[in-house]
Amino acid sequence: MDARIKATDGFLFHLVKKLRPGLAGRVAKSGRLDTVILGLGGQGSKHAGLMYDFGTSIVAGVAPGGAGTRVHEVIPVFDSVKDCLAEFPDVVAASVWRHYSTARDAALEAIEAGIPLVVLISEGLPVRDVRDVIVSARAHKTVLIGGNTPGLIFPPERIKIGMLPDVFFPEEVAPGRFGPRGVTIISRSGAILYHMSDAMASVGIAQNAVIGIGGDGAIGSTFRDLVPLAMGYENTDLVIVAGEIGGCQEEMLAQDVRDNPGKYPKPLVALISGAHAPEGKTMGHAGAIVTPGLETGTFLSKKKALEGAGIPVVNSQFDLIEAVRAKLKGKTYFSPERYYAKMKTIWEAPPPKPHWTTLVTKVEPNNLVVRGYRVQDLIERASLVEAAHLVVLGELPAAVRTASLTRVAAAAVKKPLPAVVRNPEEDLSKTFQKYLLADEELAAFKPEGKAAQAEKAVFTLGRFTAYLAAVLSHSTALAEIKPATPLAHAVFRAIWGADAFDEAKARMIEAIIVASIDHGVTPPSAQATLIASSVRGSYETAVAQGVGAITDVHGGAGEKAAVFFLQC
């Protein structure tokens, strides 16, 4: 189901138009509802891909220190929301997937940048942090959803902001052509929300927006905030609220319906969970707890308040279907068989092939992608210094920078070394580890500017090449190296010595190294380097730790295989 309605006909545009009329005008011209994602850890990266695949326009991710990289090879990453908006100024929504300790700052950054909708997926934020975020959201007229929310989904527009599964179906005005009308579902519980949506779709009732408001004790938007907003959307025919025990949201909604009936011109149905929950026991969410001795927060108090405001209250999916059907006078929006066919396709689809993705590499069966380039293409076209620049800075360098990096690497090769002594029983990785760790030239080399990280990387490769030559007693072969000599030539001479240079063999060695420039974060060498750098160890300390982890257990298997094949 790939068809979608126009952006300007949907619920999300209705929200943007109400909050940011100027932004809505630009969206109307572009026809795009752009979103960003803040926090690219395991869950953030995973759901960035799922949201993108669903159809959401995710124009950028924000991860401090990740600028220049791409998530899933298609979503560019920026260091800050400010940098992101400089390139994509018309973002309408941001989802926050940061750890609760840093979620506050990420949410505030999005709010203060003027993004009208901020969805706080993170859970368990300290109440003081939530307070700060809510105050800022109100001051900036931002709709804040969450924390601890599964997010929102707008089925007619094919927009998902969060982690909701695809158990929805929009109005179908003609076969394969969808419309914006339907019911709006607003729920405190994510799991109950999914079941309600499935129940509605199973009888042909479309959903134009599904909103999980969050299960934490303190959240950004309540029923009283969101129900009038939904009823103000011309294509919403009815609103369903899914409440649960704990707090007083449902009672406050009921009071507002009685006090301000003009804000609630459309039918409203409530489902309340927790009819048999004991007092004082948390039932799933931080907010789902009946406080002993209080008159609000219980199933009965909520049911009484809502029914007193003329809102039918149910306690099961079956009763919900009947209540909604009655309010809609039997209206349906599509044939339920269409929904069943869609779900059958999803259920019977083969499981996705195993793969993993980092900010640098995407690994799939028979497909390895580094910074958006297939590794076989890099083997064919990229030199060693160009590949190093790509891994570190996210792009292949221009010819001028490649020449500059080549000079840096050559200079590193030519700088003097201490006397290199290798004990007969010493593992080769240990030899390189101890000399890199103590290398004064590497420690003293501190480049500046945009290419500084790449220059440091190729300088390190040059120093490693010099030590390789020393270990193999081929240091004299490096005398032929000139400032413009490619690093691959120096590597060849370090391995083969001063004999006649062979361009083809040098290129073969370079291709082998380029083919293995990145293999993820799971190997011991990568883990050792990450751990050392995470405690602010020096550059040479982190590199040396990684090199030291490349032993005959990890990294040595290839050598043993080569020896085996030579002996066959």
Q: Would you call 239 helix, strand, or coil by DSSP? A: strand
Do 419 and 285 fall within a single domain? no
Nearest Cα neighbor of 338 from 154, 195, 169 is 169
* pLDDT at residue 2, rounded to an integer: 56
399-414 and 452-471 are packed helices; what angle lies between their axes, rounded to 10 degrees? Answer: 40
Structural domain harbouring 73? 33-147
Compute the distance between CA of residue 537 and CA of residue 309 in angstroms, rounded to an integer: 63
Q: What number is the average pLDDT over the span 486-502?
A: 90
Q: Is 25 part of any domain?
A: no
Q: What number is the average pLDDT over the span 245-267?
A: 94
Give the HSE-up count for residue 300: Cα atoms under 13 Å, Cβ half-sphere.
6
Query: Cα dihedral sign for 78, 80, 85, 91?
Result: positive
Q: Would you say 272 and 218 are in contact if contact means Cβ atoms under 8 Å apart?
A: no
Q: What number is the average pLDDT over the span 257-266?
A: 97
Q: Distance between terminal CA atoms of the chain?
A: 55
Residue 135 confidence (pLDDT) above 90: yes
Compute the distance between CA of residue 121 and CA of residue 202 in angstroms, rounded to an integer: 28
Q: Would you say 183 and 200 are in contact if contact means Cβ atoms under 8 Å apart?
A: yes
Compute the distance between CA of residue 211 and CA of residue 191 in angstroms, rounded to an integer: 12
The tokens describing 558, both together, are 């290839």
* pLDDT at residue 298, rounded to an integer: 86
Q: Would you say 365 and 354 are in contact if contact means Cβ atoms under 8 Å apart?
A: yes
489 in active site: no
Do 208 and 130 fall within a single domain? no
Do 562 and 499 fall within a single domain? yes
Residue 408 confidence (pLDDT) above 60: yes
Nearest Cα neighbor of 59 from 33, 21, 26, 40 is 33
Do 481 and 516 fall within a single domain? yes
Sheet holding 207-212, edge to edge: 159-162, 151-154, 207-212, 182-187, 236-244, 268-273, 313-314
Tens of pLDDT, residues 440-461: 999 999 999 989 999 999 999 9
DSSP H helices in 415-484: 428-437, 440-444, 452-471
* pLDDT at residue 155, rounded to an integer: 95
Q: Is 503 part of any domain?
A: yes
Q: How many other CB atoms sit within 10 Å of the CB of residue 477?
A: 20
Q: How is residue 83 annotated by DSSP?
A: H
**What is the domain-level CATH number for residue 74?**
3.40.50.720
Do 331 and 415 fall within a single domain? no
Q: Is 181 part of any domain?
A: yes
Q: Is 166 part of any domain?
A: yes
Compute the distance between CA of residue 288 and CA of residue 208 in angstroms, rounded to an integer: 27
Q: Is 11 part of any domain?
A: no
Tens of pLDDT, residues 81-126: 999 999 999 999 999 999 999 999 999 999 999 999 999 999 989 9
Amino acid, single-letter form, for residue 240: I
Q: How many domains does one find in the chain?
A: 3
Buried b (16+ CB within 10 A) or exposed e, 308-333: ebebbbbbebeebbebbbebbeeeeb
Tens of pLDDT, residues 320-345: 999 999 999 999 999 999 999 999 99
| Chain CA centroid to CA 455, Å | 29
What are the distances in angstroms from CA 107 to CA 79, 113, 219, 293? 15, 10, 13, 35
Residue 287 confidence (pLDDT) above 70: no
Catalytic residue among 14, 140, 285, 489: 285
Nearest Cα neighbor of 57 from 150, 157, 151 is 157
Do 126 and 86 fall within a single domain? yes
Compute the mean pLDDT over every residue in the chain, rounded to the nearest whole number. Answer: 90
Nearest Cα neighbor of 528 from 513, 514, 541 is 541
Nearest Cα neighbor of 238 from 155, 329, 361 is 329
Nearest Cα neighbor of 117 from 142, 140, 149 is 142
Do 393 and 529 fall within a single domain? yes
Do 364 and 329 fall within a single domain? no
Q: How many other CB atoms sit within 10 Å of the CB of residue 428?
A: 17
Do 184 and 325 fall within a single domain? yes
Measured in degrees and rounded to the nearest 5, phi and psi for residue 305 equal -65, -45
